[in-house]
Amino acid sequence: MNASATAIPEALVTLSGVKFAYPGRSRSPILDDLSLSIGEGEFLAVLGPSGGGKSTLLKILAGLVTAQAGSVVVGGTEIRRPRRDVGMVFQRPTLLPWRNVRDNVLLPAGFAIGASKAELDRADRLLAMTGLRESAGLYPNQLSGGMAQRVGLTRMLLHDPRLLLLDEPFSALDAMTRERLSLELQRIWMTERRTAIFVTHSIPEALFLADRVVVLAGRPGRILADLPVDLPRPRTLETMGGARFNALALELRRLFDTVAATGVPAQ
Ligand code: ADP
Ligand code: MG
């Protein structure tokens, strides 16, 4: 691929012509000829209805499944298997019930026993940043849903990944906790400035967090819109009541309505 074909010159992530179908199922691909670039340090939200291939896209980027065609490049090298420089958080955190918060954070380092001094120090610093310092000794059954998701976020950050993948991390939480964690994620992201891809089906959540929103929908999943979010940071709860926020939300809602009614976006 030559430089002029790349939308963002300093792209950290470049997908080009990606095709993916799950094996052993009907042959219709989940994604077909998908191309997308994500700039270094950018916060991208991927918005779309259920079944549109959002999780599949993240699994490809995480190296958990492999595309049948096209290329997926992160930091200059093709993704073929899970890598330390790509971190992921799922909808429900996969915590080991018999390990405390600190050890669950240290899971990718092989727990406290296998972890290096640097990893232990980083885990403690991250636990402080995510508000879990006082809870480091608690076990998963002693945590609220919001705290458990913070543990997942902290663990994702342990190896200082260049790319953060977040698959509907707040969707199982109540509305208040969700809002609070969105504010915290923005604060963490503004401190660490890692490239992030955040999957959600919530328009307000996408607009609140992202620099750019892409809408993925249809079968096979296609990018129906690619919308820059020109709202100043740090965004606050008041941002969500502002005129610009509402205008962008309306634009996305209209797009979804047209897709739901006709299967194709307007224009
Ligand atoms: P989304 O995250 O947007 O809801 P997914 O990527 O999870 O969408 O799923 C896209 C499509 O792929 C769905 O139709 C789903 O049923 C199918 N699918 C997801 N995972 C698998 C799998 N492991 N095997 C077969 N089909 C799958
Ligand atoms: Mg999903």
pLDDT of residue 233: 96
Give the pLDDT confidence of 224-265 residue by residue, as tens digits. Answer: 999 999 999 999 999 999 999 999 999 999 988 877 776 666
Residue from 18, 19, 25, 30 to probe ligand 1 pocket by mutation (most atoms less than 8 Å from CB): 30
Residue 55 has pLDDT above 70, yes or no: yes
- Gap from CA of 22 to ligand 1 centroid (Å): 8
Q: How many domains does the chain have?
A: 1
Q: Is residue 97, in this structure, part of any structural domain at all?
A: no
In percent, the amount of the chain with pLDDT more than 70 equals 92
Q: Is residue 74, in this structure, part of any structural domain at all?
A: yes
- Gap from CA of 127 to ligand 2 centroid (Å): 27
Give the pLDDT confidence of 195-234 residue by residue, as tens digits. Answer: 999 999 999 999 999 999 999 988 898 899 999 999 999 9
pTM of the model: 0.91
Q: Is residue 27, in this structure, part of any structural domain at all?
A: yes
Average pLDDT (147-172) is 93
Query: Ligand 1: which atom is nearest the Cα of residue 49?
Result: 3
Q: Is residue 113, in this structure, part of any structural domain at all?
A: no
Q: Is residue 125, in this structure, part of any structural domain at all?
A: no
Query: Ligand 1: which atom is nearest the Cα of residue 25?
Result: 25
| Residue 172 structural domain | 11-92+162-262
Query: Ligand 1: which atom is nearest the Cα of residue 168?
Result: 2
Give the pLDDT confidence of 87-129 residue by residue, as tens digits. Answer: 999 888 889 999 999 999 998 777 667 888 999 999 999 999 8
Q: Is residue 235, in this structure, part of any structural domain at all?
A: yes
pLDDT of residue 265: 61
pLDDT of residue 172: 87
In percent, the amount of the chain with pLDDT more than 90 equals 72
Q: Is residue 203, in this structure, part of any structural domain at all?
A: yes
CATH code of 255's domain = 3.40.50.300
pLDDT band at 3 (very low <50, low <70, confident <90, very high): very low
- Bigger pLDDT: 72 or 94? 72
Query: d(Cα 128, Cα 47) in Å, to the nearest integer?
Result: 31
Residue from 18, 22, 65 to probe ligand 1 pocket by mutation (most atoms less than 8 Å from CB): 22
pLDDT of residue 262: 66
Q: Is residue 23, in this structure, part of any structural domain at all?
A: yes
Which residue, by CA, sits nearest to atom 18 of ligand 1? Answer: 22
